[in-house]
Amino acid sequence: MVECRKLAKGEKAVKRLFLLSVFAVAGFCAAAAPAGAQTFVDVGDSHRAKMEINYLATGQIVNGSLDGHFYPDKQVTRAEAAAMIGRTLQFNGKQVSTDFSDVGIQNFASGYIQEAARHSIITGYKDGSFKPDQPVARGEMAIMISRAFGYGASTINSAAKALMDKGIAQGVADGTFGTTNSIKRSDFSVFLARSINSELRLNGSMPEFTQTDTVNADSLNMRSGPSTLYDVKSAIPFKGEVKIGYKVGKWAFIQYDGKTGFVHTDFLASSVGGSSSQIAGKTIVIDPGHGGTDPGASGYGLLEKTVTQDTALRVQNYFKQTPFNILLTQEKDPVGYKTELSDRVAFARNHNADIFVSIHCNSFNGTADGTETYYYAAYQNPHVDESKALATYVQKRMLDALDLKDRGIDNGDFHVIRENTMPAILTELAFIDNKSDNAKLASSYWRQEAAKAIYLGILDYYYNYKKIDDVLPLYNLLQAQPSTKWY
């Protein structure tokens, strides 16, 4: 099988590795149980969650202790939930430094926490903390799963309703969802397993298989779960036509020849929202202002280049999950030199960019504050109306996200927008030398909010101004809706 031939190395490597336990509890082993281990001494045949726990264990989404216990009645913490969801979506779980003051690199879930936060599945608090050991409530679980699987819910109540409507969850004894009740590991496992595999859901609830795709491998294995650790259910021949219900990371839950299962999307002719999309061929260039030997403005020990580079990477991360081609004029802060303004313009032109967004921080002797966005209305750039529309939508989203003074949109004589030949804007997030504005620029929480605003502002531009409906599903990444038609 082509899938087996192409994935054999990875599959063998996964089986050789020992993974950190998803659950950091006393008595749990530092390494996971061997691949394929599906039974636990405290999850007997009569346990109500046995099927779902063993399903997750097969894919090494959850693991037990060295002595074979699962501890199904222990409460789930925020760190554990991030790890479970991260493994489900195939995030990189390598331990890393994070944006959160209370999650160090030594935390077993640090990599998953960082990735889950970047994907807006689980967020930190305004004080910069994450509270990794805080128990998860059922309502919080509902929001996490809704965000992870793109159910589009923006509130706890709507997330709870989505899980019940899909046959993933039920209410509690008092007839409510029990949003403030803590959740056990066994229950979290049930809800997560049902979210992954609709065959496990209540009342036989199945998705609508609305998208058609074709296999581009000689033969493609359809598996019982989103990993090569799961059993093969059948093989689909070259150019076999499959219907897609939903995606779990890089795997798709599909229907073929009357059967359902998971296939890896790398072996499909196009991913969901793929090559036929109106936006698949469009390139967005994000320009982090300054960098290298050019630090930009500064205030209270914070450099402009630090803010712009970090925010640009966050924007890029959102667009990497879409059919857009997303590029940065500088992927990291250059060492020993600076990226010239003319090089930034040339980069966008050479890559035939559809739009160009430059990110900056403002400065004015500490006496000014607020957010503003510029476009250019003359010279070489003929896209004045498009640029103004793009500036309008990004500015509106920035105001909603950062809650700063509205300095409006204006015609700005800046090289990177003046000399460009596509719709181009320059957004000033806030004033780095103003104490109140600076506090937000220095915060990873508020930089993430700014990145969300830029992402959504760009979607609003394409949806409202360019009238491209293909971007509509992309709002689900942030459980958002298109803005009012402002321009």
Mean pLDDT of 93-102: 92
Per-residue pLDDT of 424-461, as tens digits, reads: 999 999 999 999 999 999 999 999 999 999 999 999 99
User: Tokens for 249?
Assistant: 């990371």
Residue 368's Cβ-count burial label (10 Å; 0-12, 13-18, 19+) is: middle
Least confidently predicted of 75-89, 181-195, 206-220, 406-420: 206-220
Per-residue pLDDT of 315-324, as tens digits, reads: 999 999 888 9
Which is more confident, 273 or 408? 408
Residue 387's pLDDT is 96
| Spatial distance between the Cα atoms of 235 and 2, rounded to a whole number of angstroms | 10
Annotated catalytic residues are 428
Residue 38's pLDDT is 57
Mean pLDDT of 120-133: 92
Q: What CATH number is given for 283-478 in this structure? A: 3.40.630.40
Residue 30's pLDDT is 32
CB-based contacts of 176, cutoff 8 Å, min separation 6: none
Instruction: Determine what percent of the chain is predicted with pLDDT higher than 70.
Output: 90
Tell the CATH topology of 211-267: SH3 type barrels. (2.30.30)
Q: Taking the domains of the chain in order of start, what are their residue ranges?
A: 2-204, 211-267, 283-478
For 380, other C-beta atoms within 10 Å of its C-beta total 10
For 73, other C-beta atoms within 10 Å of its C-beta total 10
3-state class (DSSP) for residue 422: coil
- Helices 110-118 and 78-88: crossing angle in degrees, nearest 10, is 70
Per-residue pLDDT of 23-55, as tens digits, reads: 333 333 333 333 444 579 999 999 999 999 999
pTM of the model: 0.57
Least confidently predicted of 19-28, 109-118, 154-163, 360-369: 19-28
| Spatial distance between the Cα atoms of 229 and 11, rounded to a whole number of angstroms | 7
Residue the block writes with tokens 């989103």 = 226
Per-residue pLDDT of 322-349, as tens digits, reads: 889 999 999 998 888 889 999 999 999 9
β-strands 325-328, 283-288 pairing: parallel
DSSP-based helix, strand, coil % in the chain, nearest 5: 35, 20, 45
Per-residue pLDDT of 238-293, as tens digits, reads: 999 999 999 998 899 999 999 999 999 888 886 434 444 678 879 999 999 999 99
For 414, other C-beta atoms within 10 Å of its C-beta total 18
Residue 280's pLDDT is 80
Q: Is 276 in contact with 270 (CB distance < 8 Å)? A: yes
